[in-house]
Amino acid sequence: MAVTIKDVAKAAGVSVASVSRALNGRDNVTDETRHRILDVATKLRYRPNDAARSLITKRTQTIGAVLPDLHGEFFSELIRGIDVAARAQGLHLLVSSSHGDVDEATAAIRAMQGRVDGLLVMSPHVDASFLHESLPEALPAVLMNAPQDHSRFPTLNLDNHGGAVAMTRHLLGRGHRRIAMIGGPAGNLDADERRRGWLDALGEASLARDALLLDGDFSEESGYAAGKRIVALAQRPDAVFAANDMMAVGCLIALVESGVRVPDDVALAGFDDVPIARYVTPQLTTVRVRIADLGRAAFNRLIAELESPGSLPARTEILPCEIVVRASSGDA
């Protein structure tokens, strides 16, 4: 049978209250008594009952994260950032995926209620109506990459538009005029903002009217399919800007298989700077997003809200991106 707090108290010759105070680090226990209790607890291999503790403290010591997907390097980096920050605080992380579906996002959020102290939410379906219907008032939450049409929750967004503008300007500065884009999923905020930045930069150069936008869904497969379509064009673009690195990698494979030289024939750039971008040949020029830092910053905002409820303004913070120039755009 599992050792209980009463067993520790009996073996140490103290009250249950004294054991509780000692194990929770309270200062109203003498050092001698604390050491005796800790020694007994160690010898008996006592483990606190987290469920019982939650009933008393009203805390689960767990943070939830609802993400649109768990596949791919972007989400593994995001989870890593959140998890490292959580472990530093002695907290657990409960992760669920909505698989890009609004009903599954709602179900995941509801399933976590009562199991987590706060929630991190990244979903393409986050809007005022979704938040009102899915998130209870009493559950602290921080949003990531969400539209700025709400005022209830703190939000951290990547500067997707600014990053796409900067990358397109970089390609224009290299002398490219026909810059195609492989877009992301329809209705996805990141994809929409990156497409908008690409078009805005082309518009500055009076090149937006004939801009070529190829369908994509952030997967390698869709990038590969777009690359094959580019190969078949009578007039190929000078450069291809993929809305994420995984599509850029898929496109690169398709181009190389077809004998198209990158960057000599077609320059190529991506977005996110996932680890694989440094290990393909040629190395991928991309927009660096500090993905783990996004997760860590969102977690820290949530912890601040848990420690001082209502103290944080429900404002949107924009995290900057930066250009990383490598060989795929002909610069290295």
- Token look-up 């890593």 returns 80
Residue 174 has pLDDT above 90, yes or no: yes
**Closest C-alpha among 152, 148, 140, 212 to residue 182:** 212
Which pLDDT score is estimated for 136? 76
> What ranges do the domains of the chain cover?
5-48, 60-158+291-318, 160-289+324-329
> Looking at the DSSP assignment, which residues form a beta bridge with residue 270?
286
In percent, how much of the chain has pLDDT > 70? 92
Q: Rounded to an integer, what distance in angstroms lies between the CA atom of residue 143 and that of residue 157?
A: 8
Architecture of domain 5-48: Orthogonal Bundle (1.10)
Least confidently predicted of 131-135, 186-190, 241-245, 270-274? 131-135
Q: pLDDT digit string (tens) for 109-123?
A: 888 888 899 999 987
Higher pLDDT among residues 259 and 134, named by residue: 259
Contact 178, 233 (CB under 8 A): no
Q: pLDDT digit string (tens) for 186-197?
A: 888 899 999 999
Architecture of domain 160-289+324-329: 3-Layer(aba) Sandwich (3.40)
Domain pair 60-158+291-318 / 160-289+324-329, same fold? yes
CATH code for the domain defined by 60-158+291-318: 3.40.50.2300
> Looking at the DSSP assignment, which residues form a beta bridge with residue 157?
318
Q: pLDDT digit string (tens) for 35-77?
A: 899 999 888 888 776 555 544 445 678 999 999 888 888 899 9
Residue 214 has pLDDT above 50, yes or no: yes
Which pLDDT score is estimated for 55? 43
pLDDT bracket for residue 219 (50, 70, 90): very high
Which pLDDT score is estimated for 312? 66
Which pLDDT score is estimated for 147? 77
